[in-house]
Amino acid sequence: MPTTPAVSHLPPTARGRLPVIGHALQFVRGPLNVLQDLRGQGDIVTLQVGRLPIHVVNSPQLLHRVLVTDAGSYTKGRMYDKTRPVVGNGIATSEGAFHHRQRRLIMPAFHRPRLRGYSEAMREQAEAAIASWLPGQRIAVDRAMHTMSVGTTVRTLFGTGIDNRTIAEIDSCVGVFLKQVIVRTMTPNLVESLPLPGTRKFEAARKRLKAIVDTILDERLRATQERDDLLSLLIAARDEESGEPLSRQQLHDEVVTMIVAGADSTAYTLSWLLYELGRNPAVDARLHHELDTVLNGRPVTFDDLPRLAYTQRLIQETLRLHSVSWIQMRRTITPVTLGDARLPAGAEILFSATTMHRDPGLYPHPLRFDPDRWLSPHQREAFQPFSAGPRKCPGDHFSLTQLAIDIATIAARWRLVPAGRRRVREVPAAVLRPDHLPMVVRARS
């Protein structure tokens, strides 16, 4: 008669632990290398960051249990604690019944009929962003895409009444914040109370972003004119059970969450996509052929997107190889059994979509950029660009729509080729971004 495997109390500790600091120094120096190495050490392995144990889940099946099957046994965890001072209690950081209510109120703003309307603003913003490009011009693609993405997020949220100076200020605030999130997650809480330069910049950016959003909210809540933007939908939303609207504080937190969560992830996914097109001329040629065939020289529309099959595979492959949400965390609410491990309440859990997406056991030749790998079925649990379960990103279809509209708009007019031979390095900050991405603009022939 088969026996049930014994369940140990804690997962094994990762190799290379140092006295006092544990794995903290290794992680700060090269977090992706550390997490990639852990994939060969077990389905769940413990990193010791100072005195804090963090349990890294490598198995797609165990991760599915954390995110989907047993999602009610976990809260968002330490990284989101460090995010909350900026985004408040928005949908990304809220928990329990409050989170479920927020999700019910917000999700209609991301349904398909609304995406059709947003797609026009997305295309217009992309067209404006590339209108000043010139053949032979060298541009910093990562910065250009970030500016464009912030502009798109702000415009779909607030409409056309926000000036470029305010958009630039929002862009700057988000940049400061996202540089600090991972540092705060992996350092003791005491560090945040010290008057360090990074702490002062973080607090100044938080206050400035709050002031900008408060000013816009005050104006919109006083206005009587109906508008067709995302903020108007949030203001008009009513709870189907109680009939209550979002409070002013909830509106503030959701708006800041959308600005912070949306702009960077889309901007850097688009940057990596353009990087891969520049490195892979055959892929670039197939994209241009599809755009020429489907669009025939006209601007892309929302209804074109289902017919852009290769473009969609190109986006999927970019989300796999360059998953910008490279690290996420959860915290156990009660003791849980996960694989062969028994974790106590309050245990910190970490998982990395990026390293999972680069596992050769899940994706053959994982470092090869191959959009056609998506012609074959894949294990759903092994592809998590937007997380999964009840905490899955509510803006996933918004992001996919924006990526498709943006790349179709850019590639219909321009080709971008690498400038120079310096290797582009991945920077694992709050999102996985390129350290620099200079490219040269070439006109489509």
Whether residue 385 is predicted with pLDDT greater than 90 in this model: the reply is yes
Whether 271 and 434 have beta carbons less than 8 Å apart is answered as: yes
DSSP string covering 193-216, please?
Answer: GS--HHHHHHHHHHHHHHHHHHHH
393 is in an annotated binding site: yes
For residues 249 and 245, what is the distance between their CA atoms, to the nearest angstrom? 11
Residue 254 CA, distance from chain mean position: 16
Q: Count how many Cα atoms sit within 13 Å of the Cα of residue 429 in the half-sphere of its side chain.
A: 16
Higher-scoring residue by pLDDT: 79, 369: 369
Task: Tell me which residue has tokens 């999964």.
Answer: 388
- Range 367-376 average pLDDT: 96
Whether residue 6 is predicted with pLDDT greater than 50 in this model: the reply is no
For residues 55 and 13, what is the distance between their CA atoms, to the nearest angstrom? 9
- Range 273-286 average pLDDT: 97
Place 11 in a pLDDT band, splitting at 50, 70 and 90: very high
Whether residue 3 is predicted with pLDDT greater than 70 in this model: the reply is no
Cα Rg of the chain (Å, integer): 22
Superfamily of domain 24-443: Cytochrome P450 (1.10.630.10)
Higher-scoring residue by pLDDT: 305, 205: 305
Domain boundaries, the chain: 24-443
